[in-house]
A and B are shown apart, each in its own frame.
Chain A
Amino acid sequence: MNGQTFAVCLLLLRDAGLLAVTVYSALRLWRATVPPRAAATASD
């Protein structure tokens, strides 16, 4: 594997990581702040 291919592999690894962190962050924010639909309906 030459240097350029290695650099692109690292770049794709970083992008996959960043994408995973973004999805995880969004899911965590949602779960921490949005009540489950059943609970929200009950409280209404």
Chain B
Amino acid sequence: MLSSEQSDGPATAAPEARLTPWYRLDRRAAGLRAPLACWLLTRMVLVGLAIAGVSGNTDEVHALYPPWAAELAHGHFPVGDSQWQYPPVAGLVFLAPKALPFLSYATAFALLMLLCDAVVALLLARAAGGPGRSSHGLWLWTLGLPFLIQLSYLRFDLAVTALAVAAVLLLERAPVRSGVLAALGGLIKIWPLLVLIGAPNGRTARRSWSSAAVSGLAVCAVMALAFRHAFSFLSEQGSRGIEIESLPGSLLLAARHFGYHGSIHYLYGSYQVSGAYVHGLAKVALGLTVLGFLWLLWWRLRARNWSAATTADAALTAMLVFVTTSRVISPQYFIWLLGLAAVCLVFRDTSQRRAALALPPLMLLTTLVFRCCGRR
């Protein structure tokens, strides 16, 4: 299966790059040493901040994830907990820090996320070799993530991003494995399934989509057998309102300065706006998400000129559409966007260069508002 998969796509890597083992990055390109050293330096600071608990002990990783991990360790998912909003494989991410019992939960969680961050950096470094490729993606990931300060290590989005980045980079070369990775990501946070929207037409698309469907169903069955109430999260989705960090949420926050009487409450694991027009605006946002998805499907039907970068470009566009129109989204969505933007920059002929480079300034604004100005 491996050899047939690898022969699917065009051979884009240089011969010397293919002969070098993946872990010998020093032999692949001297240009990778600087970004990797920079990655090491910045991550030491970020993980130090996360472990030192600079943001206090009220974050999800201190207050929310440990009780969930305790429940999962007893073989069942949280039930009747309005804050449990995640598909079943997310449970494994919350459970994983318990494999390091000699560390506190928050420290083990931060180290686990550091590992995921390292995986993304290594995938980008590995993909940077060869004609038509560049290390700009690795630079973007290395220098972009610190704009969220330690937030990346206090949430589990890095785990999902690592799976999505791997799925996009493998899509042309190994569509079956790519589909499996996207399905695993989708069973943690749904959105990684969107990365398959840019699968090249024909055999690659069929293989990646079918492997995602089959592996997704298989993993669901395993989780349902291994844990009780694996799908309890479904009952908590319908009544979610508008999160203050989302785009519709900011409109309502701005409207409060012009006399709108909305209040902010902690509901469903996030700060949400309550008041007049909230349900109407939530429906508009949902309608826009549906319209965005229909546009992506229309694009797939019309697209003809497929380059090596198209898969990554389409994944970033799909994610931007999803994030911009979502009513339940948080600042950590920038981790997903940054990961996909970094994959785009791996390809020299990407159409998304400016969009990718615009993300770090937007991340800085988000951090200023939600961390420094204390909007939460």
Contact = CB atoms under 8 A, between A and B. Distances in A.
A19 B307 CA distance: 26
Contact of B373 (A3, A33, A35): A3
Interface stretch (B30-38, B135-143, B226-234, B295-303): B295-303
19 contacts: A6-B373, A7-B373, A8-B257, A11-B369, A12-B250, A12-B254, A14-B365, A18-B247, A18-B324, A21-B355, A25-B316, A25-B320, A26-B317, A26-B321, A29-B310, A29-B314, A29-B351, A32-B310, A34-B302
A38 interface: no
Given A21-B320, A24-B354, 18 more contacts: A6-B373, A7-B369, A10-B368, A11-B253, A11-B375, A14-B365, A14-B366, A17-B365, A21-B355, A22-B320, A25-B317, A28-B352, A30-B299, A30-B302, A32-B305, A33-B305, A34-B299, A35-B304
Contacts of B369: 7, 10-11, 14
A44 to B, nearest CB: 11
A19 B324 contact: yes
Interface stretch (B14-22, B169-177, B356-364): B356-364
* Prevailing SS type, chain B contact patch: helix
Which 6 pairs between the two chains have the least Cβ-Cβ distance? A32-B351, A7-B373, A14-B365, A33-B303, A22-B320, A25-B355
B306 interface: yes
Nearest to A6: B373
B313 interface: yes
B181 interface: no
B304 to A, nearest CB: 5
Contacts of A18: 247, 320, 323-324, 362
A3 B302 CA distance: 48
Nearest to B359: A21
Given A6-B373, A8-B250, A26-B317, A31 B351 contact: yes
A32 to B, nearest CB: 4
A8 B354 contact: no
B96 to A, nearest CB: 31
Contacts of B324: 18-19, 22
Contacts of B313: 25, 28-29, 32-33
A17 B366 CA distance: 11
A5 B257 contact: yes
Contacts of A6: 373
Interface in B317-346: 317, 320-321, 323-324
B375 A7 contact: yes
B305 A24 contact: no
A33 B317 contact: no
Given A17-B365, A19-B247, A29-B314, A34 B358 contact: no
A19 B288 CA distance: 13
B247 A15 contact: yes
Interface in B66-109: none
A17 B373 contact: no
